[in-house]
Amino acid sequence: MAHYAYVNEGNVVENVIVVNDNDEATINEWMPPKDPNGRWMKCSYNTHYGVYYDPATGQPAEDQSGVFRGTYPGYGSLYNDEHDIFHDPSPYPSWTLNPTTADWEAPIPMPDTGNAHAWDEDAYQADNTTGWVEQTDSPMATD
């Protein structure tokens, strides 16, 4: 089986389908794009955030040559033409896309205090040496 994502002219994923291998070559004939700039693009069900997972074990495969287009897309995911990857929309304006992992990274690393943290974009914009706020009332917080 093969998986395909329908990407509209704005590079937003509108649908993901499973295609019988025998039908893969004719997908655009029996599922024509809805708009002139939309397209069906093959994606990998076993690729997540730049890692290929062995379908039999569900564990990262020893051979990572199966990594394909960043991550398995879902409705609302984005396709990045420059890096030929699918990825989620940016969670915050200051974060940058890592094209190897197809994931977003904060501009400063999260502190390693043993407590949970949340990103505060307003704090970062006011002082770009801050941004992570410790969640002391979180169930992950330690006493």
Check residue 138 and give its pLDDT: 53
Return all residues near 60 (Cβ < 8 A) that are at least 6 apart. Answer: 51, 52, 53, 54
pTM of the model: 0.84
Query: Over its length of 143 residues, how does the chain's per-residue pLDDT go in tens digits?
Result: 889 999 999 999 999 998 887 777 777 677 776 777 889 999 999 999 999 999 999 999 999 999 999 999 999 999 999 999 999 999 999 999 999 999 999 999 999 988 999 999 999 999 999 999 999 765 554 54
Q: How far is 78 from 93, CA to CA, in rounded Å?
A: 16
* pLDDT of amino acid 143: 46
Can you say whether residue 20 is alpha, beta or left, with left for phi > 0 and alpha for psi between -120 and 50 degrees? beta
